[in-house]
Amino acid sequence: MIKHNIKLALRSFMRHKSSFFINLIGLSTGLACALLILLWARDEMKMDKLFALDDRIFQVMEHQDYSDGILTTKSTPGPLSSALVEEIPEIEYAITIIDPGKYNLRVDKKSIRASGVYVGKDYFKIFDLPLINGNSDQILSADNNIAISESLAKSLFGTADQAIGQAIEFEGVDLYTINGIFEDLPDNFSQNFDFLLPYEPYYQENIAWLSNWGSNSPHTMVLLAQGANEDLVNEKIGDFIKKRVENSQVTLFLKKYSDLHLYGNYRNGKQAGGRIEYVRLFSLIAIFILFIACINFMNLSTARASRRAKEVGVKKTIGARQQSLIYQFLSESILLTLVSLIIALSLVQLTLPQFNLLTNKQIALDFSTDLVLIFLGISIITGLIAGSYPALYLSSINPINVLKGTMKSSLGELWVRKGLVVFQFTISFILIAAVLIVFKQIQYIQNQQIGYDKDQLVYFNRDGRLQNQIEAFFTQAKELEGVQNISSIAHNLVGQQNNTRSVEWEGKDPTLDLLFENVRVNYDLLETIGIDLKEGRAFSREYGTDSSAILLNETAVSIIGMTEPVGQRIKIFGEEREIIGVIKDFQFQSARQEIKPLFFQLVPHYSWLMMASLEKGKESVGLKNLETLYESFNPGFAFDYSFVDEQYAKQYVAEQRVGVLSRYFAGIAIIISCLGLFGLAIFTAERRKKEIGIRKVLGATIQNILTLLTKDFIGIVLFAILVGLPIAYILSKNWLNRFVFKIDLDIGYFGLAALLMLIIAILTIGSQALQAARMAPKEYLRNE
Amino acid sequence: MIHLKNIARYYKRGFQKSWVLKDISLDINEGEFVTIMGPSGAGKTTLLNIIGMLDQADGGEYTFMHEPVHRFNERRRNELHKHHIGFVFQAYHLIDDLTVYENIETPLLYRGIKGKDRKSMVAEVLDRFNIVAKKDLFPEQLSGGQQQLVGIARAIVGRPKLLLADEPTGNLHTQQGIEIMDLFKQLHADGMTIIQVTHSEENAKYGERIVRLLDGFVRQDESSAKEEKSVS
Ligand SMILES: Nc1ncnc2c1ncn2[C@@H]1O[C@H](COP(=O)(O)OP(=O)(O)O)[C@@H](O)[C@H]1O
Ligand SMILES: [Mg+2]
């Protein structure tokens, strides 16, 4: 019987080639999309879940309670980890991790810039990364120990085998001894480094700020003891900081480390999504695209049912029961989806490199048993859904009616078919509208005037001899061709990087508790980056007293409530400062946030980044000259620079990815929908051949016939737009709400989306209709 | 074998019931060759469908081989029908996507007959009807007469007790029609019970009994073989 069914299925495919190919193309691209999204979602779900002790690894996080809401952060005080291990018995290990930095490493003549992280010595007891050499009890236990990755070992020593015990020169000064080599980090680990250094000596060196319980910077991670209760530990550590810092508004809590990747966002102290939202969004899109392909199958199978109806009628007269017919039609659709699966897998294989590039992943198509089962499962379910309606419809046909030739499409059946097409085009419309709006918003935030000239700005580390001879470097750099100006700054001005609550002024509301961004700069910084002064003056070498001066941004001035700020005094970290100027507000975070209060203070020795503005049109000359100058100061150091505008754009990586991906998915959805429409158009033209012939004989023009053939379809598409409009509006509004700076949700976007879709739909059905309308009447009537 | 008592059947036409069969009582014995005649729209096809269990009466009793069909559910009706009844249609109704061989084989598939037995049963019928050479052709490659031959082969391959034929020669030329009727005669001679519907008095002569329908009643039931006439 299975053979019989397969044979019939194949012959039916061959008989209706256009339907067959439409279904095959639709189902295989639909499946390919679904498989790509599945692979991606699986990859996302696997992120950071690679450690044996996954259940017990937690990140210690802070809720900081301010007047304008709760800020949730991973930054914690430097002494936290050792205090936690000492005082909380449920915490077996706790380590501090300092954000990764790029450092210069040298072995003999070979120097490499690599990414390194300071971590607590128990790092490998929590994160059991596979070691090639060394043992996890001793790694990083001495102050001069360093652990490096296999590929770093290879690039420094040529081989990983002989690297253990060797010495490495770090930043041109310290010597470290390699006592651990770990395998290169797996793709599903969100931490990123080439080597690790012990935190404890780093702590001693920076004890001034790291021992301060009131300042937050490094991350703290803990391993709970076996059987320890997370809630209980949360209770114990909640007030840990408040007990140590007067007036502290910080509450500590644990977050499972491997949950952070997907559920990492907090809004006002509450967990509020994270990357899981994108996993859900794309899974939903995958399901919709598959369903759109299923609808094509449903519609084309039932529209062309007359031939199959006869088969059903005959079979019923020779003893087939409905059940066995349902089974037959379902096996037909499943057969089709299995063939589509094979094509889909080749499509996936073909597009994976590009997809990986778009999503910044290293996904490979592997055929592990579970994945193969999932693939088959998805295909079979798709086949069942696609085949369900046709199977029920065809198998319930009454043989007496078919055999008499009196079978007509019932009204209900026509409505189902129309409803399904409406669904397809509603989804397509929503996707097109979403693509337009996401595109516009990204364009908007990237071209937004942010208050300084980020496009020409390049920055690099102030390392080696630059630390002490910065003035000489400035003087020489300013002479260089292509370099407009140069200064130095504590951080790159993208995102919140350093802030403080201890800003005091006369008449400050004692309950007001706000964070001020603290930017430590050198002379000429304002001139270099091109921030405008609203009033007053910038820091200048002509005044000897500028180390006790301060510049505020407009937001800070309005929060403080000063009408004539210049010349007034405020206290920062308890020290009195004179306001010498007010700078215009500029965007130092992303368009997602309001502009926050900020001050600039002149602290040349804390400005660790060199920031230079290049001359427009001479950027590469300027860069080359800077490099030569840098290397003359720091022979053997690699010149490693970044552009501010690129860093700024990186804040929108997620949005950009969504933008590009949704463009592809929308394209595929509309193509599959149009394929279905095309199939229906062919079918309608065929079915109404005789009617068209008679009408033409009676004097109908080509236009009349075109209208006749297209008006139903256009009606359906218009209806779909009507249904999709409010949904698209609400979804876009929701998405835009993530941004403080955003485009207005103009009805024009939806109008454009509607117009685009109508044009595509008309092009799709128009050619078929035109062909039918042009045919000579005798062609139609010949068959009768 | 067939016992119909007060069979009635109506179709809804708007809000009105339109009675196609009003009161049909009929007994047909095993081995009989019965012809049902009557003007177009008299309800011949409707009656045949009821006998063939494709349709159900709205009133009356139907006993088939001592089984009360009117009391059965769909499943049991389907079983009876599948094992004992073969259908031949005016428009042949072969399955277009199957070859001659596969068309004939299909009823055996639904009866769950094993592959080997199926093969020999189909081969036997092909041989008997002289269509072995055509077995791999598709219906559209055959003439009408040949298609009807396949239709009959398909109807009888499962060795049913009862063969129902609704105007089997209606679409055929005279010569082809004669061949088909000869075939029926042969099947009848082998012991098959046959009920045919026809408009042709010539074809009716092949049978041994003629039932004439009019206005939903049996107008006349005559056994030509015994030269008896009875009017009901
Ligand atoms: N499914 C149906 N719905 C409504 N009327 C029907 C249906 N099938 C048959 N009829 C009506 O029943 C009457 C008898 O039909 P039928 O049994 O096919 O007649 P015959 O085969 O004798 O020509 C006709 O008037 C026909 O219109
Ligand atoms: Mg009839």
- Parse chain B into domains and list their residue ranges: 32-56+83-223
Burial of A714-743, coded b for 16+ CB within 10 Å and e otherwise, reads eebbbbbbebbbeebbebbeebbeebebbb
Mean pLDDT of B15-21: 90
Q: What is the pLDDT of residues A434-451, one digit of tens each?
A: 999 999 998 888 888 888
Q: How far is B229 from chain A (nearest CA, A)?
A: 33
Give the pLDDT band of residue B227 (cuts 50, 70, 90). very low
Please state whether A590 falls in left (phi above 0), alpha (psi between -120 and 50) or beta.
Answer: beta
Task: Quick: pLDDT tens for A122-148.
Answer: 999 999 999 998 888 889 999 999 999
Asked if the Cβ–Cβ distance from A313 to B91 is below 8 Å, we say no
Q: How far is CA B73 from the centre of its chain?
A: 22
**Burial class, A384, CB count within 10 angstroms (exposed 0-12 / middle 13-18 / buried 19+):** middle
What confidence score (pLDDT) does residue A409 get?
Answer: 62
- List Cα–Cα distances, A168 to A146, A153, A197, in angstroms: 8, 11, 12
Q: Is pLDDT at B26 greater than 60 in this prediction?
A: yes
Percent of chain A whose predicted confidence (pLDDT) is above 90: 57
Of the candidates A100, A279, A257, A263, the one whose C-alpha atom is nearest the C-alpha of residue A657 is A279
Mutate to test the interface with A, among B88, B93, B121 (most CBs of A within 10 A): B93
Mean of the per-residue pLDDT values for chain B? 90
pLDDT value at A8 more than 90: no
Element (H, E) at A732: helix A702-736
Q: Is B20 in the pocket of ligand 1 (CB under 6 A)?
A: yes
- Any idea where the domains of chain A sit in the sequence? 1-47+264-408, 54-260, 464-636
Q: Is the CB of B45 under 6 A from ligand 1?
A: yes
**Position A87 confidence tier, pLDDT thresholds 50, 70, 90:** very high
pLDDT of amino acid A781: 57
Residue B116 pLDDT greater than 90, yes or no: yes
Q: How far is the CA of B42 from the centre of ligand 1 (A)?
A: 8
Asked if pLDDT for residue A647 goes beyond 70, the answer is yes
- What tokens were used for A644? 């501010």
Cα–Cα nearest to A540, from A527, A551, A520, A524: A524
Residue A682's closest CA among A412, A309, A299? A299
A543 pLDDT band, cuts 50/70/90, is confident
Q: State the nearest Cα–Cα gap between B218 and chain A, in angstroms.
A: 22
Binding-site residues on chain A for chain B (CB distance < 8 A)? 1, 4, 7-8, 11-12, 15, 307, 310-311, 313-321, 324, 399-400, 403-405
Mean local confidence (pLDDT), A233-262: 93
Structure tokens at A316: 């019923």
Q: Which helix (H) or strand (E) holds A612?
A: strand A609-614
Q: B225 falls in which pLDDT band (50, 70, 90)?
A: low
Taking only the tens place, the pLDDT of each residue in B75-94 is 888 888 889 999 998 888 89
- Take atom 1 of ligand 1 and give the residue whose Cα is closest: A401
Say if ligand 1 is within 6 A of residue B44 CB. yes
Is any atom of ligand 1 closer than 6 Å to the C-beta of B36?
A: no
Confidence of residue A225 (pLDDT cuts 50, 70, 90): very high
Q: What is the largest CA-CA distance in chain A?
A: 107
Report whether pLDDT(B164) > 90: yes
Residues of B in contact with A310 (CB under 8 A): 93, 95-96
Q: What does the pLDDT read at residue A783? A: 45
pLDDT at A251 over 70: yes
Residue nearest to atom 20 of ligand 1 (CA): B41
pLDDT at B229: 42
Question: How far is the C-alpha of A687 from the C-alpha of A709, rounded, in Å?
Answer: 11
Structure confidence at residue B118 as a pLDDT band (50, 70, 90): very high
| Closest to B1 measured CA to CA, from B23, B20, B27, B21 | B27
B43 CB within 6 A, ligand 1: yes
- Which pLDDT score, from 0 to 100, does residue A464 have? 85
pLDDT at A83 over 80: yes
Contacts of B91 in chain A (CB under 8 A): 403, 405
What pLDDT sits at residue B27?
Answer: 94
For the Cβ of B99 lying below 6 angstroms from any atom of ligand 1, the answer is no
Q: State the average pLDDT over residues A43-57.
A: 93
Going from the Cα of B220 to the center of ligand 2, the distance in angstroms, rounded, reads: 18
Closest ligand 1 atom to the C-alpha of B44? Answer: 22
CA-nearest residue, atom 13 of ligand 1 = B41
Q: What is the pLDDT of residues A332-366, one digit of tens each?
A: 999 999 999 999 999 999 999 999 998 888 899 98
B93 touches chain A (CB under 8 A): yes
What's residue B232's pLDDT? 40
Mean pLDDT calculated for residue range A207-234: 91
The mean of the pLDDT values for chain A is: 90
A653-687 helix and A702-736 helix, angle to the nearest 10 degrees: 160
Chain B nearest CA to A758, separation (Å)? 38
CA distance linking residue B84 with residue B64, whole number of Å: 10
pLDDT tens digits, residue range A178-187? 999 999 999 8
Which of chain A's residues have a Cβ under 8 Å away from the Cβ of B93?
310, 313-314, 317, 403
- pTM of the entire predicted model: 0.83
CATH class name, domain B32-56+83-223: alpha beta
Interval between CA A403 and ligand 2 midpoint (Å):
10
Residue A405, pLDDT score = 67
The pLDDT tens digits of the residues spanning B173-193 come to: 999 999 999 999 999 999 999
pLDDT given for residue B228 in this prediction = 44
Which stretch of A406-410, A566-570, B70-74 has the lowest confidence by average pLDDT?
A: A406-410
Instruction: Pick the atom of ligand 1 nearest to B197's CA.
Output: 21
Smallest CA–CA distance, residue A312 to chain B, in Å, is 9
**C-alpha–C-alpha distance, residues A625 and A631, integer Å:** 10
